[in-house]
Structure 1
Amino acid sequence: MLRVAVTGGIGSGKSTVSARLARQGAVVVDSDRLAREVVAVGSPGLAAVVQRFGPSMLTSDGALDRAALAAVVFSDPDARRALEGITHPRVRARFDELAAAAPVDAVVVNDIPLLVALPVAAGFHLVIGVGADAELRVRRLIARGLAEADARARIAAQIDDDTRRPLTDVWLDNDGAADDLADRVDRLWSERVQPFEELLLRGAAAPRDRPEPVAHDPRWTTDAVRLLARVGRAAGDDTVRLDHIGATAVPGLPADDVLELQLTVSDLAAAERVGPALTRAGFVAMPNRDTDTPHPADADPARWRARWHANADPGRAVDLHVRPADGPGWRWALAMRDRLIADDAEREAHLARQRRWAAEHADDPDGAGVDAAREAWWGAAAEPLARWVERTGWRPGPDSRV
């Protein structure tokens, strides 16, 4: 099933987006409701709260005194983190239970206000963020009955939108009319969420338009970090390292809008082992793609064995290469990326090649001609790259994980 998170600060309109997705057929799980459930009367969660904050956090009938607890945690960051340490793991576990009970072809949406860290975001196929101007959010909260000081304190206690954005795959600004937001959510459902769910169920990669170089997008880096976290979570203990490779990893360089990522594993058996988990996470194994092209051509083909995956998300094209550590294909990908970053002349030459290939194969509907031209160039580039490695003493640096 497709697991989607909807997140945003208090008063942003997050719940409105979740309700609209439910109207389209999603199974929505409200983390606020789960947060109340895990500290209900008699629960282990409530016992843990009382142990940490004292019996004054209880009402006369033994329930959690939410107003008293809020007065403590919204003015004390350490207290808030302590409460989150009690409730968040229990909420996540309860969400997993409810998601597991949903139909296999469901889109399960977690309405989760406190998605604040990359490891949590990595547990979802798609994260939708909702944002709004802070003053507008204050006015919305006052209209709900909060005092202005309380509204501002609650907003200040949460991460801001600049911190939240990199955790999200989709961002919806909610400063305008409700009908406008509803229309954008409906389009998101029909153009991205529902096709993603159908492709995931089929185990198929999303179709792509013919790639063409576009201006460098700074979001490529943040997208890669987020997606690598998703890859690493799926691969688990078989993850040796994670890297953003290819032209989109080179600052300032125009490139095809296809993120190339590399998961390093210990050996080919590990690459086979992680395949099903990667497919379930939305990175679908590509049939008949089990080797890189040896460079030079007379190299031992067995040493170039690898596995390829591609994203089922129609809103973000990704090629994921799963390669054994220190194999020639693995070193090649990292060395070529680092040469493009370090060598101004080679970077300009690479861009000229990309543009020439795109022009020469402008009538090619599926990009096969560009792929063939690129593959032929890789063979010719082997010797110059080897000389650059020797001249500079290049070694693989730290990986791209966070």
Structure 2
Amino acid sequence: MLKVGLTGGIGAGKSAVARRLARRGAVIVDADVLAREVVAPGTDGLTEIVAAFGDGVLTAEGALDRPALAARVFGDDTARRTLEKIIHPRVRARTAELTHGAPGDAIVVNDVPLLVETGLAPSYHLVVVVEAERERRIRRLVETRGMSADQATARIAAQAGDAERRRAADVLLVNDGPLDELNTRVDRLWRDRLKPYEGNLRLGVSARPDRRLHIADPDPTWPEQAARLVARIQHALPAGHAVSHIGSTAVPGLPAKNIIDLMLSVRTLEEADALAADLGAAGFPKRPGEWVDNARGIPGETWPKRLHGGTDPGRPVNLHVRVAGSPGWRFALLMRDHLRAVPEARAGYAAAKERWVAEHQERATYADAKEPWFDEEALAADEWAEATGWQPHP
């Protein structure tokens, strides 16, 4: 099933997004609700809290006195970490239970206020962040939650900042206008991305790329996008597997097709095949067929690999799975580093792309047109590597 992480700073409007997604058919798992459930009267969670903080955090009826507990932990990092060690594992266990109980074709949205702070982003197929301007958030907290302006400011300051949440966001929903505008954005997200993403994931097929050939201007967020994908892949696999950002989107300032190319290093292609199921479950299914790289300068020879795609229609991905140390693996890293380091080589590639786009309207003929340039780049990059003592670093 598709697992979506939903987060946002306090007062940003995350709950409004969750409600709208629920109306569209999403299964909502609310971490705040679960955090109350796991410390309800009679639970071992409440017993452990009392043992850690004393009877003063209980009401006269024996329930958790949340304002009293908040006063104990606010501004005290040691007390806060103690409380988190009690609540977070229980919330995660209950979340897993509810997720596993959802239908196989469900879109499960985990509403997690501290998703970024707790490092949970890589565990979801997609992370949606709701953001609003700071003064607007303070006003909402004063008007809807009865806080003073100082209390609202302190609560906001205690959470991750907007920049940190943006780095974790696959989707950023800005909520600085009326509710109708936010609902329209959520509906569009549901229709154009979440529903097709779920279908692709369930069927184990890659999202169909745009058939039109288009070279985009350099996007400074490509490395951040790649970093999120890398973290997601590494979370899905056993520890120790290197995943690299390669290709044109890994070279700052270089125009490129808006497709993130990544490379997973494996010891053998048999290991690659053994990892295919985990990659598919994470949203990167194996593409059918036999895939090889051109052996630069060696007629008739090829370098075998595996190729996986992404199921997210909003973020095209090619995941090349290559044996570490193989010629194809080395060339992918060498070309990336050569183009990063040598401005003339980078400028030459950008100019060549402009010519090829003018001459070719289809992806296949564009790819064929690049092959002679790649042969020349392989020679130039090898010379550069020998001169500089370059070593591959995934």
Q: TM-score, normalised by structure 2?
A: 0.95
Structure 1 Cα separation of the partners of residues 254 and 118 of structure 2: 26
Q: Which amino acid aligns with 1:382?
A: A
Q: Which amino acid aligns with 2:364?
A: A
Query: Quick check: 1:214 aligned with 2:216?
Result: yes
- Per the alignment, residue 147 of structure 1 pairs with 147
Which ranges of structure 2 fall in alignment gaps of 5 or more residues?
none
Is the 1:211–1:257 Cα contact (8 Å) retained in structure 2?
Answer: no
- Per the alignment, residue 266 of structure 1 pairs with 267
Structure 2 Cα separation of the partners of residues 319 and 289 of structure 1: 15
Query: Kindly, what percent of the aligned residue pairs are identical?
Result: 49
Structure 2 Cα separation of the partners of residues 122 and 260 of structure 1: 18
Structure 1 Cα separation of the partners of residues 7 and 372 of structure 2: 45
**Stretch of structure 1 that moved more, 243-252 or 289-298:** 289-298
C-alpha deviation, 1:94, in angstroms:
1.1
Relative to structure 1, is the Cα distance of residues 50 and 211 closer, same or farther in structure 2, using a 3 angstrom cutoff? farther
**How much is the aligned-residue C-alpha RMSD, in angstroms?**
1.7
Q: What secondary structure does 2:28 align onto?
A: strand
- Per the alignment, residue 394 of structure 1 pairs with 390
C-alpha deviation, 1:46, in angstroms:
2.1
Question: What does the per-residue CA deviation read over 1:74-109, in whole Å, with 9 as the maximum and x for residues that have no partner?
Answer: 222332233223222221221111111111011011
C-alpha deviation, 1:213, in angstroms:
1.9
Structure 2 Cα separation of the partners of residues 372 and 55 of structure 1: 73
- Per the alignment, residue 82 of structure 2 pairs with 82
Is the 2:117–2:159 Cα contact (8 Å) retained in structure 1?
Answer: no
From 230, 233, 238, the counterpart of 1:231: 233
- Per the alignment, residue 347 of structure 2 pairs with 348
- Per the alignment, residue 94 of structure 1 pairs with 94
C-alpha deviation, 1:119, in angstroms:
4.4
Structure 1 Cα separation of the partners of residues 357 and 368 of structure 2: 12
Q: Which amino acid aligns with 1:23?
A: R
- Per the alignment, residue 256 of structure 1 pairs with 257
From 376, 380, 383, the counterpart of 1:384: 380
From 365, 369, 374, the counterpart of 1:373: 369
Paired residues for 1:293-372 under 5 Å: 293-298=294-299, 301=302, 304-362=303-361, 364=362, 367-372=363-368
Q: Which amino acid aligns with 1:396?
A: P
C-alpha deviation, 1:225, in angstroms:
0.7
Pairs aligned (count): 392
Q: What secondary structure does 2:99 align onto?
A: helix
- Per the alignment, residue 123 of structure 1 pairs with 123
C-alpha deviation, 1:142, in angstroms:
1.5
Query: Quick check: 1:63 aligned with 2:83?
Result: no
Relative to structure 1, is the Cα distance of residues 393 and 15 closer, same or farther in structure 2, using a 3 angstrom cutoff? same
C-alpha deviation, 1:117, in angstroms:
4.7
- Per the alignment, residue 31 of structure 1 pairs with 31
Q: What secondary structure does 1:183 align onto?
A: helix
Structure 1 Cα separation of the partners of residues 291 and 92 of structure 2: 36
Q: TM-score, normalised by structure 1?
A: 0.93
C-alpha deviation, 1:200, in angstroms:
1.1
Q: Which amino acid aligns with 2:280?
A: T
Is the 2:335–2:378 Cα contact (8 Å) retained in structure 1?
Answer: no
Question: What does the per-residue CA deviation read over 1:248-268, in whole Å, with 9 as the maximum and x for residues that have no partner?
Answer: 111122211111111112221
Structure 1 Cα separation of the partners of residues 271 and 205 of structure 2: 22
- Per the alignment, residue 293 of structure 2 pairs with 292
Q: Which amino acid aligns with 2:235?
A: R
Q: Which amino acid aligns with 1:346?
A: A
- Per the alignment, residue 11 of structure 1 pairs with 11
- Per the alignment, residue 241 of structure 2 pairs with 240
